Structure 1
Amino acid sequence: MKQVRMGIIGAGLRSGIAKYWHQPEKNSIVVGVADISTKRLDEFKEKIDDNCFATTDYKELLRREDIDAVAITSPDYLHEEHAIAALEAGKHVYCEKPLAITVEGCDNIIQTAERTGKHLMIGFNMRYMNMYRTMKGIVDSGVIGDIKAVWVRHFVGYGGYFYYHDWHALKKNTTSLLLQKGSHDIDIIHWIAGSYTKRVSAFGSLDFYGGDKSNNLTCPTCDIQDSCTEASPGVLVECAYREEIDVEDNNVVIMELENGVKASYLQCHFTPDYQRNYTFIGTKGRMENSEPDGKVYVKTRKSNTWEEYSDQTYEIKKAEGSHGGADPIICKDFIDLILNDKSPIPTILDGRMSVATGCAAAESMRNNGKTVEVKRPSFIVNT
């Protein structure tokens, strides 16, 4: 095989990465797309290729012999169904994070990939962002010593629009936003600290969104849309104060990693700004990032080595492409995995353990913060 023929399941917002796979003159091309919305299918074809095969039945897409691999960009609660069906159909699979909304779902996908012998890759694009690759390199260099503490604050500006105006706001669809939104952050903690979470304790509540509005109310039909602070400016229009909302918008997670590192993760969906702030503290110093400034700061402490004599500031270079240039690279890695058997940066176990940690944290915060153990799979993961 010299060119990978791609199919996309889910033509929503995240399907925009398809443009990086649609390179007809190179080694990948998008030939099909499936979505239950004909409007989204038409928009997808307009952006990618008007000759692209389109269907409202994803199983019809999977039956096509001219498709080698599938990208799962559908809603989280459909990942397990779609990924397993694609693997069973003999397709290689790229699955957006989170891998599934339950640990069992992750394990079902992984075991199917093992059994079918097809490649499976998780969409952790933050590992490909210049800022977090730089932070990983700094820690691996040893300049701040052995990591002992990690503090992460996630300010989710536009949280209401992105997560409380649609399906994300229901537990049955997400389990928790500690999976949907937090899986990236949990994974970066694991990656840079070099270890998975062993146990968690968490606290969270629905402090701002939800309420007593009708589940059928939408922003365009609302009498107070002109004065409501959460009136939707775009395509996601379900009321952010509707009764059915049951996913916490304010979370605090305390984690102990297998290597002894202590970590905390804070996530709030009604802050005015949108940024992630990471702090890693080691035996020789401290590293902290600033997304708004595009910088990473390293401060050193007394260590009786040359490293204590200076602090450093890293200016993160901008890269072309969505998500800070990460999306083109992660899409290329999936093609390299298929054509050249080249392992991508994130492993499937990484994807599974971020979900396991998020699920454990959700269980803890819904049970008065009790400590919950995070278990590794009972089987060997080779995929």
Structure 2
Amino acid sequence: MKQLRIGIIGAGLRSGIAKYWHNPKGKSVVVAVADKSQERLDQFGEMIKQEVFVTTDYKELLQHPEVDAVAVLSPDYLHEEHVIEALRMGKHVYCEKPLAITVEGCDRIIAEQKKSGKHLMVGFNMRYMPMYQTMKEIIDSGVIGELKTVWVRHFVGLGGYYYYHDWHGASENTTSLLLQKGSHDLDVIHWITGQYTKKVTAFGGLDYFGGEQPNDLTCPTCDIQDTCPEASLHTLTQCAFRKEIDVEDNNMVMMELENGIKASYLQCHFTPDYQRNYTFIGTKGRIENSELEKKVYVKTRKSNSWHEFSDITYEMKETTGSHGGADPKICSDFVELVLHNKQPLTTPFAGRMSVAVGCAATESIRAGGKVMEVSQELSHIS
């Protein structure tokens, strides 16, 4: 195979990455797209600017003889079904995070992938962002000594717009935003430390969004749209204060990783700003990032070595492509995986483990902070 022919399942917001795969004279080309919405299909066609096979039934796409691989970019609760069906039809699969919304769903996917012999890649694009690659390289170099503690603060500005005006606000669709949004950060903690979480305790709440508004209320038809702080008159218009919302809008997670590393992850969806703040503390110093400044700071402490005499600031260079230049890189890695068996920076098991932590933390929250064990043993599925 000299060129990978890709079908897209899900033509929503994330389908914008398809442009990085669509290179008719290069290594990959988009040949098909499936979505239930004709409007989204039309918008996708305008982006690709080339005629492709279009269907509202994803199973028709999987039966198309020219499709070698699929990118599953559908809503979270459909990932398990779409990935498993694609593998059974002999397709290689790229799946957006989270891999599924339950640990058992992830295990079923992994079992199916092993049976199929096809490639499966999870869309953890933060592993491809220069800032987090830089932080990993610094830690791996030993400059801050033996890693002991990780603190992550996630300020989700516009959280209401992105997650409470549509299907994300119901736990039956997401389990929790510790999967949909937090899976990136939980994975980066595992990736940079090189250790998986063993146990977790968490607290959280639905303290701002949700409420008593009718489930069918939309912003354009609401009497208080001019004064409501969360009014949205664009694509996503369901009321952010409707009754069906049951997903926590702020979470505080404490983790114990392998080798005794302690980590915390804090997430809030009603903050004014949008940024992730990571701090890693070792026996010789610490590093901290500033996404807004595009910098990584290394601070050293007394170590009886030359390191204690210098602090270092890393400035991130400008990149091209969405998500800080990560999307074109991760899309390229999927192509290289299928065409040349070149292993990417992520694995299906890593995708499973971020879901496992998110599910355990969610269960802990809803059980009053109960300490939960996180197992690496896959479910026995026949």
Could you say which TM-score interval applies, normalised by the shorter chain?
over 0.9
Query: How many residue pairs end up in the alignment?
Result: 380
Give the TM-score normalised by structure 2.
0.98
Contact 1:209 1:240 in 2 (8 A): yes
Aligned identity (percent) is 70
Q: 2:210 is aligned with what amino acid?
A: G
Q: What is aligned with 2:55?
A: 55
Which residue identity does 2:24 align to in structure 1? P
Contact 1:199 1:256 in 2 (8 A): yes
- Report 1:356-375 matches (<5 A): 356-375=356-375
Stretch of structure 1 that moved more, 208-217 or 49-58? 49-58
Tell me, yes or no, if structure 1 residue 28 matches structure 2 residue 17.
Answer: no
Paired residue secondary structure (2:260) = coil
Measured in 2, the distance between the counterparts of 1:142 and 1:73 equals 38
Distance in 1 between the 2:49 and 2:64 partners? 18
Q: Equivalences for 1:245-256 in 2 at 5 Å?
A: 245-256=245-256
Distance 1:318 1:120 in 2: 30
Give the Cα–Cα distance (whole angstroms) in 2 for the partners of residues 277 and 225 of structure 1.
33
Give 1:258 deviation, angstroms: 1.3
Rounded to whole Å, the distance in 2 between the matches of 1:79 and 1:379 is: 18
2:88 aligned with 1:93: no
Amino acid at match of 2:374: V
State whether structure 2 residue 70 is matched by structure 1 residue 67.
Answer: no
Deviations 1:318-375 (A, max 9, x none): 2100000000000000000001100000111111100000000000000010000000
| Contact 2:220–2:233 (CA under 8 A) maintained in structure 1 | no
1:333 aligned partner: 333
The CA deviation at 1:379 is: 7.2
Cα root mean square deviation, aligned: 0.9
Q: Measured at CA, do residues 42 and 169 of structure 1 come closer, stay the same or move farther in structure 2, by a change above 3 Å?
A: same
Partner Cα distance (2:177, 2:291) in 1: 21
Alignment map for 1:136-151 (pairs within 5 Å): 136-151=136-151
| Corresponding letter in the other structure for 1:294 | K
Q: What letter corresponds to residue 256 of structure 1 in structure 2?
A: E
Note the C-alpha offset of 1:141: 0.6
TM score, norm. by length of structure 1: 0.98
Structure 1 range deviating more: 42-51 or 2-11: 42-51
Secondary structure at the counterpart of residue 255 of structure 2:
strand
Letter aligned with residue 180 of structure 2? Q
Residue 133 of structure 1 aligns to a residue whose secondary structure is helix
- Deviation (angstroms), 1:50: 3.7
Q: C-alpha offsets along residues 196-250 of structure 1, whole Å, 9 cap, x if unaligned?
A: 0000000011000000101000011011111110001420100000000000001
- The residue aligned with 2:309 is 309
Name the residue aligned to 2:121. 121
CA contact (8 A) 1:11 1:73 kept: yes
Q: Give 3-state SS (helix, strand or coil) of 2:236's partner.
A: coil
Give the corresponding residue for 2:81: 81
Structure 2 spans left out of the alignment, 5+ residues: none
Deviations 1:39-86 (A, max 9, x none): 100110111134111100000000011000000000000000000000
Contact 2:254 2:265 in 1 (8 A): yes
For 2:336 and 2:115, locate their aligned partners in 1 and report how far apart those are by CA, in whole Å. 21
Residue number in structure 2 paired with 1:10: 10
| Residues 7 and 71, structure 2, Cα contact 8 Å, conserved in 1 | yes
2: distance between equivalents of 1:3 and 1:200? 44
Contact 2:104 / 2:379 at 8 angstroms: preserved in 1? no
For the residues of structure 2 that align with 1:318 and 1:257, how far apart are their CA atoms?
A: 34
What residue identity is the alignment partner of 1:48?
Answer: I
Distance 1:379 1:162 in 2: 33
| Residues in 2 aligned to 1:258 and 1:357: alpha-carbon distance in whole angstroms | 13
> Would you say the 8 A contact 1:163–1:169 is kept in 2?
yes
Q: Secondary structure at the match of 2:214?
A: coil
Ranges in structure 1 where 5+ consecutive residues have no aligned partner: none
Q: State the one-letter code of the partner of 1:70.
A: V
Instruction: Give 1:169 shift.
Output: 0.3
Contact 1:107 1:377 in 2 (8 A): no
Q: Distance in 2 between matches of 1:214 and 1:174?
A: 21
Deviations 1:174-194 (A, max 9, x none): 000000000000001111111
Match of 2:275 in 1: 275
Which amino acid in structure 2 is aligned with residue 141 of structure 1?
Answer: S
- State the partner residue of 1:296: 296
The correspondence of residues 72-221 of structure 1 with structure 2, limited to 5 A, is 72-221=72-221
Q: Distance in 1 between matches of 2:161 and 2:60?
A: 33
Structure 1 distance, partners of 2:75, 2:189, is 24
Secondary structure at the aligned position of 1:259 is classed as helix
Taking the aligned partners of 1:190 and 1:131, their CA distance within structure 2 comes to 16
Runs of 4+ in 1 over 3 A off after TM superposition: none
